[in-house]
Structure 1
Amino acid sequence: MKRYVGIDLGTTNSTISVAHLTVRGDIDSKTLEVKQVDEKGNNLTQDRTLPSVLYIDEQNNPYVGKFAKRMAGVYPKRVIREVKRYMGESVSWTMNGTDIRPEIVSSYVLKLLRAQVEEYYSGEKIKRVVITVPANFNFQQEQATRTAAVLAGFDKEQIHTIPEPTAALIDFLNEEKKLDATARRLRFDGKKKNLLVFDLGGGTCDVSILQVEERPDGGIDIQELSISQYTELGGIDFDKRVTQYLLQTKLLKNHLKLKTQEFMARYDDNVKLRLQENLLDFAEKAKTFFSTRIENQLRISNREYFDCKDEFNHLVYKEMLNDQLPEELVTLLSITKEEYDKVIEPLMYQEKAKAGHSNIEGPILNALKSAKLGEMKREDIDAVFLVGGMTFYPTIQERLFDIFDRRIKPIRTINPMHSVSRGAAVYHHMLDKIQIRSSDQLTKAEDSFIIPEVVVSNIVPNHIFIDVVGSDPVALLEKGTKLPFERLIEDKFFVTGPSDREDVNAMQLDLFTAESAKSLNMKKLKSAVINFKKPVKKNSKLVLKVVCNQEREVSVKAWLKEDETEVIDVNIGAHEFTDEEKDSIRNQLEKINQIKR
């Protein structure tokens, strides 16, 4: 029996869901509780969210989840977190003499989630999975995610990916379909709807514009029109701003009566790191407290936040700092919602953001400007759909309502923390029925083509260029291109190498992403490498073939123009783990299972 599993591999938290067909013929999805070591490190506890945090103790035992997150405030140098921001990059953390890459940290998270779903299915081995990624991840970030899944034990050929905003929308539409038509929050009325999906998670702000249409047979077509540029902005950035405020104003100015320089000189790095983690924990709890308290009061009074937002400014969150800090730092801290909202304003407004810093308005404007069908205006958007844990905070909802001129109230899922993995599981269930085709093929009547319940048409999220010496950069991928696609690049590349060599065994292709080929604002990616099967003369003409499938998985092949028989697979920047490294990782991953049991 096939199992349908969806994973939201988040920056700060991850979830896993399963889907199955009910007796009514509906697809039902369920987020599983994940067993993990509790905050005190003594017992196992269960929670539907798994903190994406790795802690490795002095005996080299790995822990993922609540205990690992708690240890960030005790042994911060033994904790690795927020690795999603480094996926696809050449970075690592050294722990007990071993270098740990982002793919390895993510593999620990995925391994624990996989173990949980296998326990749910009575020990059955699970190899198939759909993992969500930010819509604006580049192909190297996606490849690193797939590598992590392979290290965690999933089958390389049965790992699928889907953009996080699309997954959350699928979950929402799947639940809406179960309701009476009069109770649905999104009504199509036979028309196409332009939905702006605003995904503000733990570490990224992802904005997609999706055109959604309900077919006469009840199925749904989802076509990506635009994806915002990659933006590192999420709940952790809000927490860090509040942490800085708590440190400077509440602790140094009001409590210790110290200047920053005096504080820095008085305490060593370990104390400062421990304090930082404790303040981050306080900031996160304050945000959750305000959100939950307001949500409860609104439900009891049957009102909407947009109509009475000022009533909640007086709410106060209080907590004593951790007693493992020096005695003079252990104090009762408090913050009001009004204070909290004032502190985060630079992340909420374009005009209040510091130069070069991200804010939630920027990705929205970028997505509207770069739409595939031409620049869109705010009035072209029919609905705003909120995804990600940070959108549970009411002030975010109010700001989105304001950005769209208070014309359309944002739609929220019941639980934004779980909707992404739930949608991924539903999509996994539909994959067996979905035949991915380009949009022009979908309009053809073919007896052999069974129309599935949902058709998802993706696009390339960002431009990727190859730098060419002495010439203009060449586009490897072009933003907005409908998937799947393939292309040949001819007469653009020649074999290059050191000046003192006539022939070479390999050459490097320098890759970067930018809004345009000649943009001054570019981000360099890891270089692609062509390893020739035998020495090749310099200046020989090269042909490149680029293939990108529906799930944005990119492959590149190369050959000499005068000899098409020697086709070479090009490493496009993925880190290749040796067999020895893989064995070492598997041995470490097994320790998690032993601790879990």
Structure 2
Amino acid sequence: MPTYNIGLDFGTTNSIISYLTPNGELEAFPYPPPDGQKYIPSFIAYHSDGFTEIGSPARTAAAHDSSVETYGNFKMRLPLKESEFSKYFPSHRNPISVTVDYLRELLISSGNDYSFSREKGQITNIVVSVPEIWQRDIYNLGRERLQELIKKDLGLEKQLLQLVSEPVAAAAYYAWETQRRAKEKGGEAFSGNLLVCDMGGGTFDVSLCRIYGNNKVEVLYFDGQGDKGLESAGVAFDRRIVQKAYTKKHSKPLEENTPEFISLLKEFESVKIGSHTQASRRLTNYLNAPEDKAEDEAYKFNGYTITLGEVNEAFAPIAEGIHHVMTRVKTHIQEKGLEIDRIFMVGGFSQFLLVQNAITNALAIAKNDRRIDKNFNITNSAYAISYGACLIANNLVDPTEKYVHTLGVVLETINIHTGRKERPEITLIQGGANLDSLAQPNFYTEAITPIDSKIAITLWVQITSQGIKHQESLPDMIELPNYSPQAKYRVGMKVDRSQIAYLVIEEIGSSNPIEYKLGNVISKMFPGHVLVEEMEKS
């Protein structure tokens, strides 16, 4: 059976698996094969007989059988505190277990004839994309939990190469595809700064990337607006449209966990995608004459009608979020003297006219600006993140990402010269370093003489390497390896390719280091979304 290096865009609303065909072409995996959707709904259904379904079959089951236990949008619950799980899941489920079940069925289930492994072949390497804000917000547990469940629960520890930022994956695809097209036409490949705007089901992320050389991608700046309440992107828009249409007809809202709501949501999404061209024309007319066109029909689905004015109302909070992010991006680019050479809009919701209009308005550029790349069709733009992850998994594109936060520790030690207790503040990770340089531990240069066999450590974090340093004591005393009163130790930190930080303590002369994953500790230091607030103050 053949083996594959795959890219997975694990999305809030839909997921996409990409692989390389034997002739080197990028291809998206349909589920269920052979003629299912390549845009696979991130949706799962648990039947009473123990049967589990995912994707479109699961959504169909949910729309027709109220006894089926179903979940959607569970990806965006992964960063929640455990105490908040019960708001969205019964006691026997949580976002981690549901994500495990979904990805197992999609990727490797031996009992599912439709899983990628059963249908195509063994997964040798996998790169999974995550929202930029999961990488950027140091306190966000989403990336650590996702990495842990893929490695441990799914048993893909050796196969998982990394979690990569969604806009960075899209830039990787753009670099590869533009170079491929240039070779076909005998022209020059694109080289310059690419602004990737990624609007999907749950988040809006932006990255400015430099593309150069032989498929090299370097991240220059990133920003975004995440919202664990799902108010900032496609999921929120679709739900608001369905509620508006239902309330207008019945004079009351509809409970969102009912089969009727799920069915209406599915129907609207299908109509929205199927009528994309027609709706874009109608919205263009509305934007040119909003007062005259506000009452004109925008969409009709399952006996419900929504007007152009109501569409604009449902989109207004999202437009505000886009403007907020793009204003910061524009300010940073101007302050640093950077240029935008191309603009690439990716993710399913970025193809929506009002999203594109909000982005161009915030950047104060015309809709037909030559920098907006129109050479990629809707499919390629929607699949760009998965395609890019696949290219990285196959080592065809080399993205360079930086770790922007500065990390260190405060230790209680004995000064070997004076014999006095000291509490030095030590910098171990300097923000702005390339991830490749952090794969091995950065150790403090001086040896540590501990007071006892256990050592208390206080972690400090300077988010985005600016502003105040936040401190938090590690919850447990760390047991030192091979302790003796004469032993000397060194302390360091490393950051893996998925931007997860580890504290490392090692006896000098030994090869038995202790690694302490820092995600849970860091997440306790910050109430959600403090990073964005501090960026705005600085």
TM-score by length of 2: 0.72
Q: How many residues of Structure 1 are paired with residues of Structure 2 in the alignment?
A: 482
Q: Deviations over 1:426-464 (max 9, x none)?
A: 222235xxxxxxxxxxxxxxxxxxxxxx43211115556
The residue type paired with residue 315 of structure 2 is I
> Using a 3 Å threshold, how does the CA distance of structure 1 residues 154 and 99 change in structure 2: closer, same or farther?
same
1:102 to 95, 98, 110: 95
Shift of 1:226: 1.1
Q: 2-side partners of 1:34 and 1:228: how far apart?
A: 33
Structure with the bigger RCO (C-alpha within 8 Å, sep 6+) is 1
1:423 aligned partner: 388
Kindly report which structure 2 residues correspond to 1:549-588, keeping only aligned pairs within 5 A, or say none.
549-559=496-506, 567-573=513-519
Residue in 1 that maps onto 2:42 = 52
The 1:50/1:163 distance shift into structure 2, 3 A limit, reads: same
- Residue in structure 1 matching 2:318, options 344, 347, 350: 347
Query: Partner of 2:443 in structure 1?
Result: 488
Q: 1:221 aligns to what?
A: 216
1:455 maps to which of 364, 389, 398: 398
Does 1:129 find its partner at 2:126? yes
Distance 1:21 1:133, change over 3 A: same
Matching of residues 123-162 of structure 1 within 5 Å: 124-138=121-135, 140-151=141-152, 153-161=154-162, 162=164
CA contact (8 A) 1:464 1:477 kept: yes
1:397 is aligned to 2:388: no
CA distance in structure 2 between the aligned counterparts of 1:391 and 1:479, rounded to whole angstroms: 31
Corresponding letter in the other structure for 1:480? G
Judge conservation of contact 1:58–1:96 (CA < 8 Å) in 2.
Answer: no
Alpha-carbon distance, 1:309 to partner: 5.6
Identity of aligned residues (%): 15
1:167 alignment partner in structure 2: 169
Letter in 2 for 1:456: P
Q: Which residue of 2 aligns with 1:267?
A: none
Distance 1:570 1:243, change over 3 A: closer
Question: Which runs of structure 2 are paired with 1:535-554 in the superposition (5 Å)?
Answer: 543-554=490-501
Task: Name the amino acid aligned to 1:457.
Answer: T
Alignment of 1:161-560 (within 5 A): 161=162, 162-179=164-181, 192-213=191-212, 215=213, 219-228=214-223, 231-232=226-227, 237-240=233-236, 243-244=239-240, 247=243, 251-252=246-247, 254-257=248-251, 272-275=255-258, 278-279=260-261, 282=264, 285-286=267-268, 289-290=271-272, 292-295=274-277, 310=288, 314-320=296-302, 332-349=303-320, 359-367=321-329, 375-376=335-336, 380-407=339-366, 408=369, 410-411=372-373, 413-414=376-377, 415=379, 416-430=381-395, 454-460=397-403, 462=405, 477-486=429-438, 487-489=442-444, 507=456, 509=458, 514-515=463-464, 518=467, 531-533=478-480, 543-559=490-506
Matched with 1:33 is 30
Please say which of residues 470-479 and 548-557 is displaced more in the overlay.
Answer: 470-479
Distance 1:420 1:93 in 2: 32
**Alpha-carbon distance in 2 for matches of 1:461, 1:557:** 20
Deviation of the 1:236 alpha carbon: 7.2
User: How far apart are the structure 2 equivalents of 1:507 and 1:62?
Assistant: 46
Q: Give the 3-state SS of the residue equivalent to 2:175 in structure 1.
A: helix
CA RMSD, 1 decimal: 4.7
Change (3 A) 1:503 1:114: same
Aligned to 2:105: 112
User: How does the TM-score come out when normalised to structure 1?
Assistant: 0.66
Structure 1 position 519, deviation (Å): 5.1
Task: Give the 3 Å change call, closer, same or farther, for CA 18–250 of structure 1 in structure 2.
Answer: closer
Structure 2 CA distance for partners of 1:421 and 1:99, relative to 1, 3 Å: same
| Cα contact 1:530–1:568 (8 A) shared by 2 | no
Q: Please state how far the C-alpha of 1:316 moved relative to its aligned partner.
A: 3.0
Cα deviations by residue, 1:336-380 (Å, 9 ceiling, x for unpaired): 23321222112213xxxxxxxxx1233334445567xx9446x72
Once the two structures are TM-superposed, the CA of residue 230 in structure 1 deviates from its matched residue by: 5.8
Check conservation: 2:481, 2:513, Cα contact below 8 A. no
Gaps in structure 1 of 5+ consecutive residues: 37-43, 264-270, 321-331, 350-358, 432-453, 496-501, 576-597
Shift of 1:16: 0.7
Deviation at 1:3, TM superposition (A): 2.2
- SS of residue matched to 1:47: coil
- The one-letter code of the counterpart of 1:156 is E
Q: Look up the match of 1:440.
A: none
Unaligned runs of 5+ in 2: 109-114, 413-421, 522-538
- How far apart, CA to CA, are the structure 1 residues paired with 2:19 and 2:211? 24
Query: Aligned AA for 1:128?
Result: N
Deviation at 1:196, TM superposition (A): 0.9
SS in 2 for 1:11: coil
Q: What code does the residue aligned with 2:103 have? A: L
What is the deviation of 1:212? 1.2
| 2-structure distance, mates of 1:76, 1:466 | 52
Residues 485-532 of structure 1 show CA distances to partners (whole Å, capped at 9, x for unaligned) of 24234789998xxxxxx9675757567674566559x8x999676641
| In 1, Cα distance between equivalents of 2:449 and 2:72 | 42
Q: Distance in 2 between matches of 1:29 and 1:235?
A: 33
**How many angstroms does 1:11 deviate by?**
1.7
Could you tell me whether the CA contact under 8 Å between 1:132 and 1:421 is conserved in 2?
Answer: yes
Query: Displacement, 1:552?
Result: 3.2
Offset, 1:87? 3.1
Query: What residue in structure 2 maps to residue 11 of structure 1?
Result: 12
Distance of 1:4 and 1:156 partners within structure 2:
14
Q: Distance in 2 between matches of 1:106 and 1:423?
A: 22
Correspondences of 1:71-82 after superposition (within 5 Å): 75=66, 78-82=69-73
CA gap 1:347/1:281 in 2 versus in 1, 3 angstroms: farther
Distance 1:231 1:96 in 2: 21
1:68 is matched with 58
Paired residues of 2:30 and 2:38 also in contact (CA < 8 A): yes
State whether residues 368 and 376 of structure 1, in contact with CA within 8 Å, keep that contact through their aligned partners in structure 2.
no
* Cα distance per residue 1:128-178 (max 9 Å; x no partner): 212222234247533322222224645312312232222223323333334
| Aligned mates of 1:541, 1:281 — CA distance in 2 | 64
